[in-house]
């Protein structure tokens, strides 16, 4: 296991390094940069920008340096936990993101917890009660959840709550706590407001998870070893938990890696719609305005989440089922 751990750790580090190059190239791909966009905007408004000022700003932001130097400066900063400087906000990127990063992590952790807590029992129930009324009902709800875009669900919920209860369910906390220091009341307010975005963002993920777990468990339940177990008189509950469920849970665990970035990127539009103070809206603005450091740092954050998620899910998978697969070859 230690051998596997070290190999995966090395692969993870190499992958992150390659991703950092790709992110840098992708963010630099659109023609021009933040400064030339700003100058073009000012000129379109009829304002003249002196050449000296342009040169000064270009030097100030490090945009006059060769590409590889800009890359190194950015990567070294990232390693030090310095996310760079936001041109648009005229502040360090870490200050722009500030509390939003904590809110994003809190929201997405809550969403992932919600997805697993809801999907797991429903998936198991649907598979063990195949074609029952409960299975049909939950499958229908699952399809509904899969087919409904998150932002649409957010809009519907906001409309309904406004129409029926006269309340606004957007935001992550009550208005009086905005820009206030953290206190017990503020934390409770966040918890009270969080369930709506968690439900909205988590619905499609939950539906997908239910479908996958149900399909996997049904496959396993029809295998011969389960029939043999039943024939030998194993109690149904023990038989289910000890054998087919362990096998069916593999793809469930393997999804952790995909779930993290999906939930984070999926919450960008929902955050816009519901006015949530997460990093999503800031990221979208940064991409639109070519705010390189801010956009690049956010993309690296997403990539790191993906790679770390994959790392964790691979370790869990190996611990759960260290079995040779079809087509697998043994190195000697």
Partner 1 sequence: MSVHTYPLYTVLGDYIRAFLGVCVSVVPLFVITNKPLVTYAFWGLIVVFTLYGLRTLARHYTRVETTNDGVAEYGLFRHGFAWSELSRLRLKYFSTRRDKSNGWMQLEMTGNGRRIAVTSTISDFTDVLARAADAAKTNEIELDKASLANIASIMPGRLDEEAAV
User: Which residues of this protein are in contact with partner 1, per CB under 8 A?
Assistant: 1-4, 6-11, 13, 76, 79-82, 225, 228-229, 232, 234, 243, 247, 318, 321-325, 327-332
Shorter beta-carbon distance to partner 1: residue 119 or 256? 256
Query: Shortest gap between Cβ of 322 and partner 1 (angstroms)?
Result: 3
Shorter beta-carbon distance to partner 1: residue 163 or 323? 323
Shorter beta-carbon distance to partner 1: residue 41 or 321? 321
What 3 state SS string does 200-234 have?
Answer: HHHHHHHHHHHHHHHHHHHHHHCCHHHHHHHHCCC
Shorter beta-carbon distance to partner 1: residue 68 or 329? 329
List Cβ neighbours of 287 (8 Å cut-off, separation of 6 or more): 295
Tokens 């379109």 locate to 44
Query: Shortest gap between Cβ of 160 and partner 1 (angstroms)?
Result: 44
Query: Shortest gap between Cβ of 140 and partner 1 (angstroms)?
Result: 34
Nearest to residue 113, comparing CAs of 246, 248, 209?
Answer: 209
216: its two tokens: 């996997």
Shorter beta-carbon distance to partner 1: residue 144 or 319? 319
List Cβ neighbours of 294 (8 Å cut-off, separation of 6 or more): 83, 84, 86, 87, 88, 89, 93, 96, 97, 282, 283, 286
Task: Report d(CA 97, CA 87) in Å as an integer.
Answer: 13
Task: Report d(CA 64, CA 318) in Å as an integer.
Answer: 48
Angle formed by the axes of helices 279-288 and 256-274, to 10°? 80
Asked whether 89 and 293 are in contact (CB, 8 A), the reply is: no
Query: Shortest gap between Cβ of 194 and partner 1 (angstroms)?
Result: 27
231: its two tokens: 């024939």
Give the bridge partners for 85, in sequence order: 92
Asked whether 102 and 186 are in contact (CB, 8 A), the reply is: no
Query: Shortest gap between Cβ of 82 and partner 1 (angstroms)?
Result: 8
Shorter beta-carbon distance to partner 1: residue 65 or 186? 65
Query: Shortest gap between Cβ of 278 and partner 1 (angstroms)?
Result: 23
Shorter beta-carbon distance to partner 1: residue 80 or 90? 80
Shorter beta-carbon distance to partner 1: residue 142 or 261? 261
Kindly report the number of other CB atoms within 10 A of residue 178's CB atom.
11
Query: Shortest gap between Cβ of 157 and partner 1 (angstroms)?
Result: 39
Query: Shortest gap between Cβ of 225 and partner 1 (angstroms)?
Result: 6
Judged on CB neighbours under 10 Å (0-12, 13-18, 19+), 46 is: exposed
């Amino acid at each position: 296991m230690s051998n596997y751990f070290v190999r995966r750790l090395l692969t993870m580090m190499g992958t992150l390094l390659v991703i950092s190059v790709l992110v840098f190239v992708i963010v630099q791909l659109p023609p021009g940069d933040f400064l030339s966009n700003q100058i073009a905007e000012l000129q379109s408004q009829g304002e003249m920008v002196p050449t000296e000022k342009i040169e000064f700003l270009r030097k100030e932001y490090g945009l006059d340096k060769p590409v590889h130097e800009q890359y190194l400066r950015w990567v070294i900063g990232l390693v030090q936990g310095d996310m760079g400087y936001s041109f648009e906000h005229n502040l360090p990127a870490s200050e722009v993101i500030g509390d939003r990063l904590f809110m994003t992590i809190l929201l997405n952790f809550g969403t992932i917890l919600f997805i697993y807590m809801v999907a797991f029992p429903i998936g198991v129930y649907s598979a063990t009660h195949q074609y029952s009324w409960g299975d049909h009902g939950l499958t229908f709800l699952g399809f509904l959840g899969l087919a409904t875009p998150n932002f649409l669900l957010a809009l519907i919920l906001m409309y309904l709550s406004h129409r029926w209860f006269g309340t606004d369910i957007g935001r992550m906390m009550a208005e009086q706590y905005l820009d206030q220091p953290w206190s017990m009341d503020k934390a409770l307010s966040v918890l009270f407001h969080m369930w709506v975005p968690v439900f909205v963002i988590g619905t499609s993920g939950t539906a997908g998870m239910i479908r996958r777990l149900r399909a996997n468990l049904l496959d396993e339940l029809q295998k011969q070893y389960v029939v043999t177990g039943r024939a030998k008189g194993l109690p149904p509950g023990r038989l289910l938990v000890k054998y087919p469920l362990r096998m069916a849970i593999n793809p469930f665990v393997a999804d952790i890696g995909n779930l993290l970035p999906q939930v984070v990127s999926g919450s960008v539009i929902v955050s816009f719609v519901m006015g949530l103070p997460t990093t999503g809206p800031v990221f979208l603005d940064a991409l639109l305005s070519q705010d390189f450091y801010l956009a690049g740092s956010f993309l690296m954050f997403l990539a790191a989440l993906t790679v770390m998620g994959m790392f964790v899910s691979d370790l869990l998978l190996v611990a759960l089922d260290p079995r040779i697969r079809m087509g697998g070859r043994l190195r000697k």
